[in-house]
Amino acid sequence: MAKTGHPLGIDIGGSGIKGAPVDLDAGEFADERLRIPTPDESTPDAVADVVAEIAEHFAKETGDASIGVTVPAVVSRGIVRTAANIDKSWVGTDAVALLEQRLGRSVVVLNDADAAGVGELHYGAGRNVDGLVLVATLGTGIGSALLSSGALIPNSELGHLELDGVDAETRASSNARDTEDLSWEDWAERLQRYFAHVEDLLWPDLIVIGGGVSKKSDRYLPLLHLRAPVVPAQLGNAAGIIGAAWMASNQ
């Protein structure tokens, strides 16, 4: 029997858990987003309670449609393998089994940067682009999503490439720019070093820059000189929820 209602996307972050039903034809929220603070002890059970609260809030709009959930972690076949900005007890948790049991609906769980990349691919800056698309989210760290001819290559974790003896994200993230009070020019030099290294490894056809700093892309993108075109993300903070909902409907 076909599922009814809009798919629900839920984005689990370190400070807030956000969700909204998504109109996949339009690539936008079908209702106003709901945000609930992440529990101080963000254990799997505590977070699952909040996810269930969001699902119940949108029950009328979503019916029995599938739910896509993002986590700030590597996710392999539904199992959480790392824990960034959530409780370490998530490591080893079968998140799909936990949430499906709690919600009574089909659930897809994926990395938050991967979800944002899927959103940009289908509704944002990556639309109608053949070949390899890299979506990099510049924030506290560097999140990455690799999409090859429309297919997600999950858990790329390119922010953790070693560059100049350290994790690349410790020097090239937006947080590094803020913490070290770097000028846009100095930060762009670090971005150039980072993305040129990634290009030598992967040769992407397009690089999309996401994260809050994408709103100020005119301050640093013109300073980058890479082989691939580099463009700002278009969906903003909605990308993860939209991408998660798309994945839930297309698995």
pLDDT at 6 over 80: yes
- Domain span holding position 160: 125-234
pLDDT for res 3: 64
Collapsing DSSP to helix, strand or coil, 76 comes out as: strand
Q: CATH number of the domain that 220 lies in?
A: 3.30.420.40
Specify if 243 maps to a domain. Answer: yes
In a domain, 188, yes or no: yes
Number of independent structural domains in the chain? 2
Q: For residue 178, is it within any domain?
A: yes
State residue 212's pLDDT score. 87
Listed in order, strand segments (DSSP E) in the chain are 8-12, 16-23, 28-29, 34-37, 67-71, 75-76, 79-80, 107-111, 132-138, 142-148, 151-153, 162-163, 166-167, 206-210, 230-232
Q: How far apart are the first and last CA of the chain?
A: 16
Domain annotation covers residue 141: yes
Indicate if 102 and 177 belong to the same structural domain. Answer: no
pTM of full prediction above 0.85: yes
Number of C-beta neighbours around residue 219 at 10 A? 14
251 pLDDT higher than 90: no
Are 129 and 192 contained in the same domain?
yes
What is the C-alpha separation between 182 and 177, in angstroms, rounded?
Answer: 5
Q: Which tens digit of pLDDT belongs to each residue from 115-131?
A: 999 999 999 999 989 89
In a domain, 117, yes or no: no
- Our measurement of the distance from residue 164's CA atom to the centroid of its chain's CA atoms, rounded to an integer in Å, reads 26
The answer to whether residue 3 is domain-embedded is no
Q: For 213-246, how does the pLDDT look when each residue is reduced to its tens digit (9 = 90+)? A: 999 999 999 999 999 999 999 999 899 999 999 9
Mean pLDDT estimate for the chain:
95
Q: Stretch 161-183: mean pLDDT, rounded?
A: 96
Question: Based on the domain organization, do 230 and 130 belong to the same domain?
Answer: yes
Q: Is 116 within a domain?
A: no
- 93 shares its domain with 165: no
140 plus 85 within the same structural domain: no
